[in-house]
Amino acid sequence: MALLYGSRVFFNLNFKASKLSRTLTHSYPRFQVRSMATSEMKKIQIQRDDTTFDAYVVGKEDAPGIVVLQEWWGVDFEIKNHALKISKLEPGYKALIPDLYRGKVGLDAAEAQHLMDGLDWQGAVKDIQASVNWLKANGSQKVGVTGYCMGGALAIASSVLVSEVDAVVAFYGVPPPELADPTNTKVPIQAHFGELDNIVGFSDVKAAKGLEEKLKESGKPFEVHLYPGATHAFMNTSPEGIERRKGMGATDENEATAELAWSRFQSWMSCYLAA
């Protein structure tokens, strides 16, 4: 499924069932901000099937767990910012980031699209399941999943495909039907979208409304929030994240919007992950 960011191709969800295939037609600025190590984070390895992948853990021992899923950039500074913030939300969480790209990080949109094109999405769902299982085996009685952009779509997919998940909060991303149908979600879902997001069929208003209709059919608790004046990736409020968004044409800066979304995130997870 090719998704458009304005008049430019944003990325391509590379499912075998998809009949759409496009390439980047415009250049993007290259960002010299590499994935930053955080002293509070511990790097671990998780086994699933016949493969092992790296993950990053931060937060309270024996706290509820939250799997935090990357944007198309990879495990970079912004997803680590999110995980660190989540770990410090009341009542305290153990946040885990699985490295779906196996150590690779996109420094510009062309690299990010290349990495995303090469992602085994069914394999990524298995990584999420292994991450949830690791948290539950290491002190977390309940585990939620959250994600941003690509990770948001995967978070919703996990609500359908990973039976061990207890709650999901997704940011600006809806999985294509080839991967998962949100009508079949097994857990409560909260989702967040910007009203000015123009990634057609993935995170624009039409996609958000379509998700809402499917969640109504699921019979599970849900919330779908639309934020006026917000474009794609509005949760990225670090100086580096703002710079990167501006380079891709997203000029809105509204920290209050992000804080409102964080407040709703905290309420949702504390409700459904309480022991």
CA 265 to chain CA centroid, Å, is 13
Task: Give the mean model confidence (pLDDT) for residues 195-201.
Answer: 95
Encoded amino acid at 157, one letter: A
In a domain, 267, yes or no: yes
Q: What pLDDT score does 38 carry? A: 59
Rounded CA-CA distance 145/84 in Å is 15
Residue 3 lies in a domain: no
Q: How many domains does the chain have?
A: 1
- Residue 85 counted as domain residue: yes
Beta bridge partners of 43: 56
Q: Is residue 17 part of a domain?
A: no
Nearest to 41 by CA among 71, 74, 76: 76
> What was the pLDDT predicted at 249?
86
| Domain presence at residue 130 | yes
To the nearest 10 degrees (0 to 180), the angle between helices 121-137 and 150-161 is: 70
**Domain contains 16:** no
- Ranges 6-10, 105-109, 266-270: which has the least confidence: 6-10
Average pLDDT, the chain: 88
What is the amino acid identity at position 23?
A: T
In a domain, residue 6? The reply is no
pLDDT-based confidence at 275, cuts 50/70/90? low
Q: Which amino acid is at 261?
A: A
Decide if 137 is inside a domain: yes
**Per-residue confidence at 254, pLDDT binned at 50, 70, 90?**
confident
Among candidate residues 99, 175, 188, the one with its CA nearest the CA of residue 145: 188
- Helix (H) / strand (E) element for 256: namely helix 255-273
Domain limits for position 29: 24-273
Kindly tell me the sign of the dihedral angle through the C-alpha atoms of 262, 264, 270, 272. negative
CATH number of 29's domain: 3.40.50.1820
Under a CB-based contact definition with an 8 Å cutoff, are residues 1 and 201 in contact? yes
pTM over 0.85: yes
What length is written for the chain? 275
pLDDT digits (tens, 9 = 90+) for 9-40: 344 444 433 322 332 223 334 444 444 445 68
